[in-house]
Homo-oligomer: A and B are copies of this chain.
Amino acid sequence: MPKLIKKLAVLTSGGDSPGMNAAIRSVVRTCAYHNIQCIGVYRGYEGLIEGDFKEMDARSVRGIINKGGTILKSARSKEFRTKEGRQKAHKHLIENNVDGLVVIGGDGSFTGALIFNQEFGFPVMGIPGTIDNDIFGTSHTLGFDTALNTVVDAIDKIRDTASSHNRLFFIEVMGRDAGHIALNTGVAGGAEEILIPEEDLGMERLVDSLNRSRKTGKTSSIVVVAEGDKIGKNIFELKDYVDQNMEGYDVRVSVLGHMQRGGPPSCFDRVLASRMGVKAVESLLEGKTNFMVGLLNSKMELTPLDKAIKGKTKINLELLRVSDIMST
């Protein structure tokens, strides 16, 4: 069966992340290296359903390794959640003689891929692309490292003005269910406190902590808050609480937003994407299916898709402790 693969398709799905283009490039070039054909699918599963395909060779992916976003575009597809949608998709793949599919995306995209395989026996392989780093089976998802640097750069800028004015800033970073971005950038940005969904600090402890740090002579402070944190309903309520319960603070809020998803990928993400693309294609060529490629202990490893979907990444407790010590 492995010998049958002569043509692969690749798509990007879900929220885009820096490094997706580098991964597409790697998939396409690894195909070229092994003399198999490669098709790019536009707009994720939407394009699969519509047969929005494009033949790609080594030249098609020139000059994209350093570009954010995805040249194949991405989308969320409702129709792919229906059997009819998936049947259309399968028909297009078969008509185009495609023998395997590489899906670059997150949890939701992998779930789609798994169901697709279960229904049609079509070989699929996942590459974890999301800035949130919330996928089991890899220490780093594509785009996480780049997003960290983007956030830290923004925190550095905000600190300039915070310390010029003795202000307290609440900075919201991405991470609806996971505090990885908040935790790492909080430590790297020298934040006094870091609020993450995995740990309920409680409003009072936050106020205590800020008061304590103020007593040591600190006149400006940064608190990094993950989108998904549950302390306040949202970051503006957090500000209101502090305004009402703490004296003498000039509190500001900054929501970093979508710029966290863009920008040229970092060296780390480009190298990771290149390695993942090679591993994904070669695993399909070896006859494997239903796996996600990942970085574990500095090596490329495969994790079954169902494990990658169900498994829960844990917050680095050591890092939480480092954060506490650093805000001494």
Listed in ascending order, the chain A residues whose CB lies under 8 Å from chain B are 12, 15-16, 18, 20, 25-26, 29-30, 32-33, 58-59, 63, 65-70, 73-75, 139, 145, 148-152, 154, 156-166, 169, 184-185, 187-190, 216-217, 252-264, 266-268, 270-271, 274-275, 278, 297-300, 318-319, 321-322, 325-326, 328
| Nearest CB in chain B: distance from A54 CB, A | 16
Q: Could you tell me the distance between the alpha carbons of A18 and B325 in the complex, rounded to whole angstroms?
A: 21
**A interface, by DSSP: helix, strand, loop or mixed?**
helix
Q: Could you tell me the distance between the alpha carbons of A326 and B322 in the complex, rounded to whole angstroms?
A: 39
Q: Could you tell me the distance between the alpha carbons of A163 and B158 in the complex, rounded to whole angstroms?
A: 26
Q: Could you tell me the distance between the alpha carbons of A33 and B151 in the complex, rounded to whole angstroms?
A: 27
For this complex, 21 residue pairs linking A to B, each with C-beta atoms less than 8 Å apart, are A16-B165, A26-B322, A26-B326, A33-B328, A63-B163, A65-B188, A68-B157, A145-B268, A149-B267, A150-B157, A152-B266, A156-B262, A161-B262, A169-B258, A185-B267, A188-B267, A252-B258, A255-B255, A256-B259, A271-B322, A274-B322
B164–A73 CB distance below 8 A? yes
A274–B187 CB distance below 8 A? yes
